[in-house]
Amino acid sequence: MDILFYHPTFDNAAWIRGLEKQIPGARVRAWTRGDDRPADYALVWHPPVEMLQGRALKAVFALGAGVDSILSRLQAHPEMLAESIPLFRLEDTGMGEQMQEYAVSQVLHWFRRFDDYQAQKLEKRWQPLDDYTREAFTVGIMGAGVLGSQVAQSLLAWRFPVRVWSRSRKVWPGVDSFAGQAELGEFLSQTRVLINLLPNTPETAGIINRELLSQLQENAYLLNLARGVHVNEDDLIAALDDGQLKAAMLDVFSREPLPETSPLWQHPRVSITPHVAAVTRPQEAIRYIADTIGRLERGEAAGGRVDRRRGY
């Protein structure tokens, strides 16, 4: 079995050693330009068109939970990957746990009013504040995939009211479920903390705009953990300035790295992390890929296959 590997920033040698250890008999090589030798599988992140074009592969694995970069490239270059070749994403290789840590810590930060106490600290003001109640601190999650499910469960453990909105209705114990455009307004109207975990598709690009934000409860919070293109950044700043939103925590942006000229850097009620909410953990990802390849080789069903028409 021959496996091609390409990632512009990962340690190729470490990944190749790990893959060959987990998949006995596999020959793994880092792809370089001009390499047109046969391969059975390809593991990629932001792959050049010529890496995949014309190859008779059994499957391609995106080295992350998102596949929008590959799909957008396929739109421009449909010849890059035949429709018959399955495309897989990493469903959960430690990313779910990382998303839980990030989401729970931030929701608790707002719930305990640490943002307000930090503002008072800058004014050298000693003033206990009224507590928020869980009943009035409903968390709404946009996106009901693997990561959305795990974040919802972690917040339920802290006894927050949790609701979820997605393309199709989900049935999760203890979670109010809303589906489709017709139910979006109802979902937003009772949401105090909005967490975005939507996939990046043409339908979701720019979805978090002034109209959507205006439907949230007053003094709402936004936590964006999905993709920067989901948020209209100008509308976000306007919602913060007029008081519709109390604060925003952003891990992803429409341009990355975030330009120094972006007003988001200077806004007092915007917190920023550099796309680190959930990163690919090599050991867990390698085990996941090895298991999935084993299933494919045995002719068994495997999770994580991408529906190219839906975009996830």
The letter for the amino acid at 109 is H
- Identified catalytic residue from 73, 109, 275, 305: 275
As beta bridge partners, residue 176 has 163
SS3 52: helix
CB-CB neighbours of 310 under 10 Å: 11
Question: What is the distance between the terminal CA atoms of the chain, rounded to a whole angstrom?
Answer: 27
- CA dihedral for 213, 217, 220, 226, sign (positive or negative): negative
- Identified catalytic residue from 7, 55, 163, 227: 227
Closest CA to 63 of 104, 91, 86, 33: 91
- Find the farthest-apart pair of alpha carbons in the chain and give their distance in angstroms, rounded: 69
Helices (H), 214-276: 233-241
What angle separates helix 95-111 from helix 114-122, to the nearest 10 degrees?
Answer: 60
Tokens matching residue 259: 């330009």
CB-CB neighbours of 181 under 10 Å: 9
Our answer to whether residue 255 is catalytic in this structure is no
Our answer to whether residue 89 is catalytic in this structure is no
Closest CA to 193 of 168, 230, 161, 227: 161
Q: Which residues are catalytic?
A: 227, 275
